């Protein structure tokens, strides 16, 4: 099941009325964003941001992170949780980008290489390319495309997935990975960022995983879950 355009528009507009229209502030640093998103996995924003700050303070370049002993990288990002796994994953990505950069004869930095690579392809192609890097899943790739590059690729996290199913935007058996593809077809590009952010706000404030506050919900008229 895929929502009708009219249903999607009503949901979008009700979310805007309820939570406002957030504006993206991209930094156009996809490599920094990718590493930051890897660090954000399975931890709080505070811890992941602290780990990122420590990483960039400890190493002058991403090339230095790539070439450092993995144990040293892990120690620097220890506050972000799962440090050994994340350090190895970050270095795997950096080594893969290095191999691709050298194979293509690109002489700039890894940051410049990834920026140039993504600038030359469509948002959808960029999303698929990032997913081809080791350990990068669909949500991580979409976060980089949307938050860092302001491209209309919608990340589907646990809140977006849950709220979208309850609102009938996607079917009850649609996985988060499948939802990425559906939203790519369904959501107008200019809606992607505010829609993503407002679905998360709604999931955190009202449409909780357990005991959703349906009596306070401004979207009850569009909700397939209300009262169940």
Per the CB < 8 A criterion, the answer to whether 21 and 194 are in contact is yes
Q: Is the dihedral of CA 212, 215, 216, 219 positive or negative?
A: positive
Residue range 64-81: mean pLDDT, rounded: 97
Dig out the tokens for 68 from the structure. 């450092």
State how far the Cα of 175 lies from the Cα of 177, in Å rounded to an integer: 5
Interatomic CA distance for residues 191 and 214, integer angstroms: 25
- Return d(Cα 226, Cα 228) in angstroms, integer: 6
* Exposure on the CB side of residue 96, measured as CA atoms within 13 A: 16
Give me the mean pLDDT over the 150-169 stretch. 95
pLDDT tens by residue, 176-224:
989 998 999 999 999 999 999 999 999 999 999 999 999 999 999 999 8
Which of the pair, 225 or 215, is modelled with greater confidence?
215
Cα separation, 216 vs 206, in Å, equals 7
Q: What is the pTM of this model?
A: 0.93
pLDDT at position 225 is 78
Q: Which residues of 75-90 are buried (b: 16+ CB within 10 A; e: fewer)?
A: ebbbbbbbbeebbebb
The string of pLDDT tens digits covering residues 24-48 is: 999 999 999 999 999 999 889 999 9
Question: What would the two tokens of residue 187 be?
Answer: 């959501």
Q: Which residues pair with 170 in a beta bridge?
A: 2
If you average pLDDT over residues 151-176, what whole number do you get? Answer: 95
Which domains can be identified in the chain, with CATH numbers?
5-23+155-222 (1.10.1670.10), 30-148 (1.10.340.30)
Q: Write phi, then psi, for 2 (nearest 5 degrees).
A: -125, 135
In the beta sheet, which residues pair with residue 2?
Answer: 170
pLDDT(228) > 60? no
Q: pLDDT of 83-138, one tens digit each?
A: 999 999 999 999 999 999 999 999 999 999 999 999 999 999 999 999 999 999 99
């Amino acid at each position: 099941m895929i929502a009708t355009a009219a249903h999607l528009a009503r949901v979008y507009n009700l979310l805007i009325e309820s939570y406002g229209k957030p504006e993206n502030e991209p930094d156009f640093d996809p490599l920094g964003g990718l590493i930051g998103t890897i660090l954000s996995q399975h931890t709080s924003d505070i811890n992941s941001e602290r780990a990122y700050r420590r990483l960039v303070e400890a190493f002058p370049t991403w090339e230095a992170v790539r070439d450092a002993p993995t144990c040293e990288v892990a120690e620097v990002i220890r506050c972000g949780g799962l440090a050994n796994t994340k350090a190895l994953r970050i270095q795997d990505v950096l080594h893969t980008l290095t191999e691709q950069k050298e194979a293509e004869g690109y002489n700039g930095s890894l940051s410049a290489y990834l920026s140039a690579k993504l600038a030359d392809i469509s948002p959808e192609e960029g999303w698929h390319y990032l997913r081809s890097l080791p350990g990068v899943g669909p949500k991580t790739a979409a976060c980089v495309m949307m938050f860092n590059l302001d491209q209309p690729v919608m990340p589907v996290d646990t809140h977006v997935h849950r709220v979208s199913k309850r609102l009938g935007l996607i079917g009850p058996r649609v996985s988060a990975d499948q939802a990425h593809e559906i939203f790519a077809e369904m959501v107008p590009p200019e809606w992607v960022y505010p829609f993503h952010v407002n679905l998360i706000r709604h999931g955190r404030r009202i449409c909780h995983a357990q005991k959703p506050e349906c009596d306070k919900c401004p979207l009850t008229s569009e909700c397939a879950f209300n009262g169940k």
